[in-house]
């Protein structure tokens, strides 16, 4: 494992060069890998493993939309596509990729198939970390590992098809066989990780929940709405407000920041933009810091998990969710966005 310096801090990182695909296939050559769930992460991870030459099957509830999607992706009933219990029976590695709510509902089935020496794989530490609320407590005689791609399953698949990869974290919760880390890394390479960095189940879920509610979605969407509202209230048109708030960020600036870093972004803008951004950066940081601290404490305390489980288990959750999404979708901000996207040049 390489020791890489990240801003002055040494971390253990596994590169593809250190753990090539052929080594991963050798580690898992005698295993049947069952991907349980075919929603957000399942398709990308399952198809990448299949294309990389691993013995992989899919377990999914029969007849639903995800079952139909699996059929469309080439999984064959009775050969590579099975009902969840049958897939778990056949597997030596169970990749538990149902939603957090789905994992709670199906845990009895999974637990009943965790015979000695099997590997239980997660891509999210939620179920195990908050086990007092989820009831997910793995038996002591299995390996329990995690590989968490830092992006959606769609992005994982898209980058894989381009010959690239998403960075993933990995963690070992339980090492019964003495081979848990090697098997976790093999699975991480198999699903198409760019590189793998070490964490643990708690840190993964704490950072993930904070990121989702924070800069990745919640804070970002809230800042979009705030700036758009100010510009519109001061007489700017919807097109101008959307372009200055969302379009320029997503289409122009963020790809450059991704490629070169924020310092490069500052260095390659006008003096007017440089000074304004540098002077106001700290004001936004100081305003947001208390909110992020509060958010992190809510996550660590388990209160966020409790709220998610309670809300997600309500019979009318999907109906209320659609109402919330409709409000966003039909807002002027995102209607303007829809119009702007339709005007992008077609190459």
Condensed to tens digits (0 to 9), the pLDDT of residues 33-80 reads 999 999 989 999 999 999 999 999 999 999 889 999 999 999 999 999
Enumerate the active-site residues: 124
Q: Kindly list the domain boundaries of the chain, sorted by start residue.
A: 2-199, 214-342
In terms of DSSP bridges, do strands 193-198 and 119-122 run parallel, antiparallel, or are they unpaired? Answer: unpaired
Sheet holding 143-149, edge to edge: 2-6, 9-15, 193-198, 166-174, 143-149, 119-122, 93-96, 33-36, 56-59, 81-82
Q: If you compute the radius of gyration of the chain from its CA atoms, what whole number of angstroms results?
A: 22
Looking at residue 126, its pLDDT comes to 96
In this prediction, residue 305 carries a pLDDT of 95
Quick one: pLDDT at residue 281?
A: 95
Give the C-alpha distances (Å, rounded to integers) separating 3 from 11, 180, 201, 283, 319: 5, 20, 21, 35, 48
Q: Tell me the per-residue pLDDT of 126-156, one tens digit each, with 9 for 90 and over.
A: 999 999 999 999 999 999 999 999 988 999 9
Q: Report residues of the chain scoring pLDDT below 50.
A: none
Q: Quote the CA–CA distance of 147 and 122 in Å, as a whole number.
A: 6
CA distance 251 to 258: 12
What separation in angstroms does the CA of 71 have from each of 51, 64, 68, 95, 138? 16, 11, 5, 19, 30
Check if CATH label 3.60.15.10 holds for domain 2-199.
no
pLDDT at 89: 97
CA-CA distance, 22 to 26, in Å (whole number)? Answer: 6
Q: Are residues 273 and 244 in contact, defined by beta-carbon separation less than 8 angstroms?
A: no
Prediction pTM value = 0.91
DSSP summary character for residue 177: S
pLDDT value at position 347?
67
């Amino acid at each position: 494992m390489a020791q890489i310096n990240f801003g002055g801090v040494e971390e253990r990182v596994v590169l593809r060069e250190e753990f090539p695909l052929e080594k991963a296939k050798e580690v898992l050559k005698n295993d049947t890998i069952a991907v349980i769930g075919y929603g957000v992460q399942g398709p990308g991870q399952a198809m990448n493993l299949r294309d990389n030459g691993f013995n992989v099957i899919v377990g999914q509830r029969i007849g639903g939309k995800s079952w139909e999607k699996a059929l469309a992706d080439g999984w064959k009933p009775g050969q590579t596509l099975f009902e969840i219990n049958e897939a778990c029976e056949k597997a030596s590695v169970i990749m538990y990729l149902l939603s957090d709510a789905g994992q709670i509902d199906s845990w009895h089935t999974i637990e009943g198939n965790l015979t000695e020496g099997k590997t239980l794989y997660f891509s999210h530490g939620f179920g195990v970390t908050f086990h007092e609320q989820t009831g997910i407590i793995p038996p002591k005689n299995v390996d329990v590992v995690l590989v968490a791609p830092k992006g959606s399953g769609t992005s994982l698949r898209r980058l894989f098809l381009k010959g690239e990869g998403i960075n993933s974290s990995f963690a070992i919760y339980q090492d019964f066989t003495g081979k848990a880390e090697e098997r976790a890394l093999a699975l991480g390479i198999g699903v198409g990780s760019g590189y793998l960095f070490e964490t643990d189940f708690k840190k993964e879920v704490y950072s993930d929940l904070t990121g989702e509610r924070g800069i990745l979605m919640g804070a970002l969407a809230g800042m979009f709405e705030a700036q758009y509202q100010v510009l519109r209230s001061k007489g700017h048109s919807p097109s101008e407000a959307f372009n200055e708030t969302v379009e320029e960020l997503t289409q122009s600036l963020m790809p450059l920041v991704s490629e070169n870093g924020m310092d490069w972004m500052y260095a390659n803008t006008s003096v007017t933009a440089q000074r304004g951004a540098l002077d106001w950066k700290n004001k936004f940081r100081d305003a947001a810091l208390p909110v992020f601290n509060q958010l992190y404490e809510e996550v660590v305390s388990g209160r966020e998990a409790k709220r998610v489980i309670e809300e997600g288990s309500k019979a009318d959750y999907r109906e209320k969710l659609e109402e919330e999404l409709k409000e966003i979708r039909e807002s002027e901000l995102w209607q303007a966005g829809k119009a702007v996207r339709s005007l992008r040049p077609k190459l």
